A and B are shown apart, each in its own frame.
Chain A
Amino acid sequence: MNQRQNILSNGWAIVRRNKQYVIWFYLLNLALAWMGARTFRQQAGHVLDHSLYSNGLVQGFDLGVFTEMLARPEFGPVRATTIPAMGLAVIFMLLTMIFVPGVFLGYASDHRISREEFFRSCGENLWRFVRLMILFGIVGGMVAGVLFGIQHVLVEAASASSNETLSFYVQLACLTVIFVIMTAIRIWFDLAETDVVLADQNAVRKSLGMALRQIRQNPARLLGAYVAVSVAGATILTAGIWLWYTIVPPASVLGAFLVSQATLFLLLAMRFWQRATAVAFYTGSKLEQAITIPVAASQPFPSPSAAQPAGM
């Protein structure tokens, strides 16, 4: 198999082989979102459950009824519903940070790792991932800040034109460039995370250095793979929402739930596909090194789990 050409398919094979991770993360997110939405459900129910006026939201989506509900004092302040939801979204992000090392380990392994191995990896890599996330926040934040600043200037300049669509297209072009650059940064940190876990690398700067070299050597390959998966994610999201509006009857809460959740599940799977792609690339490049260096080639390439004496 030509590793250079198949990081996407290898990555997808890894995701399929380890479906349980996507499922668990999906269920975790659903559970947190459900908790986050409880306040909203209670507040909405307080206004809607005993009123015939709420029928406008059952047989269709009457925006007038909806906005009137939000404006009612009985509904309570909108922030009472948004703050728990936002807070739990942050918790999901933190839990993802905690559990993703186990996922990388599982993805690199040729067998299903035990629960103990999974959680041990999570524990051992926690502080490394915290540092990586902080570094990502700094680097990504600075780059995004500069890029969005440039976008603002360009859009403002385009707004001065009488060509009404110009600013929109400038904005679109800028967002595309920002997306690609931010994706490149994400690849950098995904590879670093992979290295941290699989090489049991305590010095995250070394992992970041390694990852940067890999990106510089294989920019199109990595970026192409990540962008392709992102496009697939965007397509899934668009198709899911389109299906939601076209095939689900307005009054069917269950139908809407199933379609929306299937969409979210597949969207989540896309992110795991990217991580698996990073693992496939990482293990593939290690294999290439093993083949091209005679001394290393004389030794069998250890399985990722066997290669991590302390952490796996």
Chain B
Amino acid sequence: MSSRPTVVACLFASILALPAIAQELPSALSIPNTTSAINSSTPMSQRVVHYEIEAKYDPKSHTLDATEILTYHNLTGQAQDTFPFHLYLNGFQPKSTWMRESRRDGTRDSLAQTWESKDNGADEIRRFEVVGQGDLTAQLQFTHPDDDNRDDKSVVQVHLPKPIPPDGYVQFKIAFHDQFPETLARTGWKRDFLLGGQWFPKVGVWWNGAWNCHQFHGATEFFADFGVYDVKITVPQNQVVGGSGIEISNVNNQDGTRTITFHGDDIHDFAWTASPHYITYADTYQGNMGPIKLTMLMQPAHASQEERHVRILKQTIDRCERWYGPYPYKTLTLVDPERDSAAEGMEYQTFITGGTSWWMPEGLYLPEGVVAHEFGHQYWYGMVATNEFEDAWMDEGINTYTEIKVLDDVLGASTSALNLRGTTLSDRQLTRGEYAMVADIDPVARNGWQYANDNSYVGATYGKTGSLLLTLEGIIGEDTLQRAMHVYFMRYRFTHPTKEDFLKTIEEVSGKDLRWFFNQAIYGTEVLDYEVLKVDSSPVDWYKENFEEKKGERTYQSEVVIHRKGEFVMPVEIAIIFDNGDKVRERWNGQDRWIRFTYEKKAKVASVEIDPDHKIYLDRNNFNNSYVLEANGKAASKLNNYWTFLTQMFSQLLAWWMV
């Protein structure tokens, strides 16, 4: 285990001795075993990379110049002579794949109709050297493994003259220049604020026997190996800076700049932020593995919401640690980004961004939702580092489920998104709503760049995954699913699991064959929609004329027909209530397209409800799940009253000004 001063000394020595590095033998290299940024005496991940970056940021031009020393441990089990690198900032160029797809399919960001220079982003490698193999800058080639877009420069590849043997090390020394865009895809500047995300050349992941280094797509996020990060950032002295990992030093330089040094262990990304306006708040949470230092970088206009942010952050950490496993890092930085920036609601390891505005009533739980979601990503994306390009649902979807469970627990299941003077909205409704709009377009399991459009990507990865896991609770039980998530987390933390790893863990823990469900819900596009097709009660002695009816004396033949409208087959329960108060529960396996239930009672059917315990969140239409024979116009009358009021108001205001 290396101590912190040793790491810094090594860093300085290596930078000072740059010309000599080229002569150094790769066999002398290693990945540090530091643990100063985690509450563990031993490393928690299989460390593949060590990034040492020194960067200087110019806020006026929104540019950055840096040197990066990347040490890579070849754990691929075979010799490697080709290494691909992500250059994500190159995605923000007019002809890039990111821009092309975002304009075609939509994006969370608002893109102007015309190209503006402020949208331009770039990650330009100015020198690329491989220790012991010389300057290979001229050998760099842009590749486009996912499409034929030759103008895309988000992936660059280098071919080494000498292969790196299995278990060997290679060290890359890269000088690069960044141009940040005005915030796009949670990176860039806004006014004098900066969020530095995906800002440095980042090596791909050897996964399932091949390099996995996809182009930057409109909808996709990221994928990287675990390792150690030592990052020095120099900014003007008026800037408040936060970053991933722990802050080692913060030194004022004589030229009016300041250098902040960060160190991170067992992380696979490094993000940072700078703004002259942040108000810094510090707090501590006693985690299961040790104290966690919480740093909140709040905008001045949101200072009064600091307590709200800390409260939900601690509540979320508490639930995640109890339900899934420990959070081992010593720090968590919560960034409250500049308003109107596309930097809200983003996750990096030990570093997340929130989302709020200066006016945020207590009952509107937007900041709570964002913080709960982004912290949840420390588990799903952070420690369980799934491939966000190919399995977006495994981070966004599983995490959406986590967010729902946390918010349910903290704020109440029916009021977890909004609770303002009788107006309510739950997080699970929001999630289901995202899915219901695009239920039959794309399967959950699909490469992130291959969804029909951004709505479908969001609907499937966030909405459908969240809804299907809530539905799964109804099949195997809430406690069982929670236990399965715990096992999955503990088994696959600090690795890159596949979708089958997750699904098999659930089957293993529940002891049930759930393929019938997974095949439809995850791999398929079958839509789940059951409806009450027919309800009827007719007197058995219908042929008698002028019968004087007395309640409870006449026998009725009642029939209830349930129809499976969609292709998704799922066993359902049906509750039938008769007008004498009798209740009947039926169960149907859903295999046929419809089923008829008949009853002969001295009572008529009053109501029928499919899924009376409300366990099936995948049902696209909740309105047709029940039928009440006697119409109840209260809800429609209430809405009608609102509508009439608004119409009258509009009329009066129009007439007020015009006549």
Contact = CB atoms under 8 A, between A and B. Distances in A.
Given A45-B636, A68-B436, A253-B638, A63 B424 contact: yes
Contacts of A250: 422
28 contacts: A30-B644, A33-B647, A41-B637, A41-B639, A44-B635, A45-B636, A47-B623, A48-B635, A50-B627, A51-B624, A52-B625, A54-B623, A54-B636, A57-B638, A58-B638, A62-B425, A63-B425, A64-B429, A69-B623, A71-B436, A85-B650, A89-B650, A89-B654, A97-B658, A162-B192, A163-B301, A253-B638, A264-B648
Interface-centre pick from A48, A57, A60, A260 (highest chain B CB count, 10 A): A48
Given A61-B422, A74-B623, 8 more contacts: A32-B647, A37-B644, A48-B623, A49-B633, A58-B632, A65-B429, A71-B437, A164-B357
Nearest to A161: B191
A251 interface: yes
Contacts of A161: 191
B637 A253 contact: yes
B656 A271 contact: yes
A92 B649 CA distance: 11
B640 interface: yes
A155 to B, nearest CB: 12
A190 to B, nearest CB: 9
B659 A140 contact: no
Nearest to A52: B626
A210 interface: no
A303 interface: no
Nearest to A251: B634
A105 B42 CA distance: 92
Interface stretch (A7-15, A115-123, A129-137, A146-154): A129-137
A40 B626 contact: no
Contact of A164 (B358, B432, B636, B655): B358
Contacts of B299: 164
A295 to B, nearest CB: 36
A66 B424 CA distance: 10
A49 B623 CA distance: 10
A96 B659 CA distance: 7
Contacts, number: 199
Contact of B655 (A40, A44, A58, A93): A93
Secondary structure at chain A's binding surface: helix, strand, loop or mixed? helix
Contact of A260 (B645, B656, B657, B658): B645
Given A96-B655, A162-B277, A271-B652, A64 B426 contact: yes
B627 A34 contact: no
A40 B639 contact: yes
Nearest to B614: A53
Contacts of B659: 93, 96-97, 100, 129, 133
Interface string A3-41: 000000000000000000000000001101110110011
Nearest to A166: B301
A77 B639 CA distance: 16
A257 B624 CA distance: 29
